[in-house]
Chain A
Amino acid sequence: MEKQLNSSLTREELAEMYRKMLQIRYFEEKIFELYGQNLVPGTIHLYAGEEAVAVGVCSTLREDDYITSTHRGHGHCIAKGADLKRTMAEILGKKTGYCKGKGGSMHIADFKIGMLGATAVVGAGLPIAVGAGLSVKLRKTDQVVACFFGEGASNQGTFHESINIASAWLLPVIFICENNLYAMGTRQSRVMNIKNIADRAVAYGIPGVTVDGNDALAVYEASQKAVERARSGSGPTLIECKTYRLKGHSRVDPAKYRPKEEVEEWLAKDPIERFKAMLLQTKTFTEAEILRIEREVFTEIEDAVKFAIESPYPAPEEALEDVYA
């Protein structure tokens, strides 16, 4: 039966969201594969499974809006519009990467598109987002800042300090808690006596909303509201997106601490499959149109991999550059 599309988004916008989510998924699958071939130094924290959060939020932002990101940040970069080739090259430690090979998977940034960088210290991005919000206020522009962090970070002191300040000063920050249930291997219920992180918003006198983080449109609607509130000078919002990692915490983690039934239940709620089904059931797009997007993204990722693999490593002595201006 044909369903009605319940969204104000245009066909082009929906296609773009699907494209972005696919970019993230294919990108992460490729990284996983390259890691197996020993082409990715260090570790990786894959965003696969959480695509609807980054894409839902970033689709409500302008290019000159800011985001801050985390150790699990590839998805945030891609959703904000980062170049796939330079992102891939950075993860492979190449000179052509966003950070010339100095940052790697956990520290990608693209200041030209307002991507203020990923910090690998859990919870450290929150005060930085508040600072960007204060900067906006002092410069009297109408930009907003979206600050991504996990439910684990919500137990850091910086969560309390930052949201309190943002609320007291009515700063244009949207705090996006990606609740994937596990902080590394520690289940939320073992270390918190609440179910919803968004409940904590009450303590700061700001709106707190919990949404299905695997539903890109639900995330979009919540973020849209928060962005409007922030842009109009009414202050921050805390949005909790319930989601799930497809893989373990990092490359070495088989995630045995997650019950099989739970994993299956979440796999059935795959954000990309759901979005695609919605686009098809509402006849917004045909199978052929969807297939075309998938093929295009597949090629984009292949091109990014080729670029990254063929790019040179930085010269060792470049390690001494960029410490100071």
Chain B
Amino acid sequence: MRRDSKVFLLGEDIGRYWGGAFKVTEGLAEEFGDERVRDTPISESAIVGTGVGAAITGMRPVVEIMFGDLTALAMDQIANQAAKIRYMFGGQASCPLVIRTPFGAGVSIASHHSQSLEAWFMHVPGLYVAVPSTPYDAKGLLKAAIRGDDPVFFCEHKLLYPIEGEVPEEEYTVPFGVADVKRKGSDITVVATLYMVHKALNAAEMLEKEGISVEVIDPRTLTPLDRKIIVSSVKKTGRIIVVSEDCKTAGMSAEIAAVVAEEAVDYLDAPIKRVAGQDTPIPFSPPLEQYVIPSEKKIIEAVREVV
């Protein structure tokens, strides 16, 4: 925002009175003013649509939808307008819009505040989908998203907000479509995103004590997807597990499994496995909620099954 006056923020309670439901925008209104850090009425469709209109007329809006579940209210503007404007107008217009929203379960806020819906947005050509798991990646990807000329759906997992990590002072961006190997290993590839990266890393740590070497790959963006790193890792390890909090059926884990099946099936020494969310809404009570999302234990069990 300091670098480019065209960048501004829109969202419910993101301004000086609240700083965002998860405090992501706290302090920004004080520095950049209420015009550029704009509290909106509770109108998700119009929040995104206003972002679209501003983006196609020269601005670089970053809109926040308070919870990922609420993107359903804005789906037309995201999927039919923002994503398709460049294409259906024959490349005449750019829509440099970033839509940020928190996904994920784990804090007992039940079915309307806990889903992981990244697969919905992977299914919309014209959108990029970012899924950072560390502070470094979050900052680098967000900068790349804001500076790019296409709409970006930027997924944030709410359990990642308190996580600390190294973030350099100097200028950097993280390019889209470049996965990161979060841990090197030789026996099995585990692909995970968002909060699941941390569960996969914990699982890998524990499995190392059993003598199993796990390679953890974080795609960082789902669209575009870095097929190359995933496929080359599978060619090395011969085994893959995809860990994803979203529902298993037609979820993001299905797409990655399909990529491996298409491009590296001859290198597999064991079936592809998926540790994904159950095909249920997210329940409220902690034991119920924990049951339907992937855990370190489920990841370890899956690894033991195939190694």
B48 / chain A contacts, CB cutoff of 8 Å:
127
Q: How far is the CA of A323 from the CA of B94 in the complex (A)?
A: 10
B36 / chain A contacts, CB cutoff of 8 Å:
138
Residue in A101, A103, A132, A323 whose CB lies within 8 Å of B53: A132
Known A-B contacts A161-B41, A322-B91; A130 and B53 likewise in contact (beta carbons under 8 Å) = yes
Instruction: State whether A100 touches B91 (Cβ < 8 A).
Output: yes
A157 / chain B contacts, CB cutoff of 8 Å:
45
Nearest-Cβ distance from residue B50 to partner chain A, whole angstroms: 4
B111 within 8 A of A: no
Residue in A126, A135, A161 whose CB lies within 8 Å of B59: A135
B39-58: CB near A (< 8 Å → 1, else 0) gives 01101011011111111111
Interface size class of B (residues with CB under 8 A): 35 or more
Instruction: State whether B54 touches A121 (Cβ < 8 A).
Output: no
Residue in A68, A129, A161, A321 whose CB lies within 8 Å of B43: A161
B86 / chain A contacts, CB cutoff of 8 Å:
322-325
Q: Which residue of B lies closest to A318 (CB)?
A: B90
Q: Which of A4-12, A109-117, A250-258, A271-279 contacts B (4 or more CB under 8 A)?
A: A109-117
Q: Which of A162-170, A187-195, A260-268 contacts B (4 or more CB under 8 A)?
A: A162-170
B126 within 8 A of A: yes
A107 / chain B contacts, CB cutoff of 8 Å:
88-89
A133 within 8 A of B: yes
Q: Which residue of B lies closest to A66 (CB)?
A: B57
Residue in B8, B46, B56, B88 whose CB lies within 8 Å of A165: B46
A98 within 8 A of B: yes
Instruction: State whether B87 touches A323 (Cβ < 8 A).
Output: yes
B300 within 8 A of A: no
Interface residues of B in 63-100 (CB under 8 A from A): 76-77, 80-81, 85-94
B128 / chain A contacts, CB cutoff of 8 Å:
324
Q: How far is the CA of A132 from the CA of B50 in the complex (A)?
A: 7
Interface residues of A in 134-150 (CB under 8 A from B): 134-136, 138-139
A111 / chain B contacts, CB cutoff of 8 Å:
56, 89, 92-93
Residue in B53, B55, B92 whose CB lies within 8 Å of A133: B53
A128 within 8 A of B: yes
A102 / chain B contacts, CB cutoff of 8 Å:
87-90
Known A-B contacts A116-B56, A324-B126; A100 and B90 likewise in contact (beta carbons under 8 Å) = yes
Instruction: State whether A136 touches B57 (Cβ < 8 A).
Output: yes
Instruction: State whether A127 touches B45 (Cβ < 8 A).
Output: yes
B contacts, CB < 8 Å to A = 8, 35-36, 40-41, 43, 45-46, 48-59, 61, 76-77, 80-81, 85-94, 125-126, 128, 148-150
Sort A-B residue pairs by CB-CB distance and give the 5 closest, nearest first. Answer: A131-B53, A127-B49, A99-B90, A161-B46, A161-B43
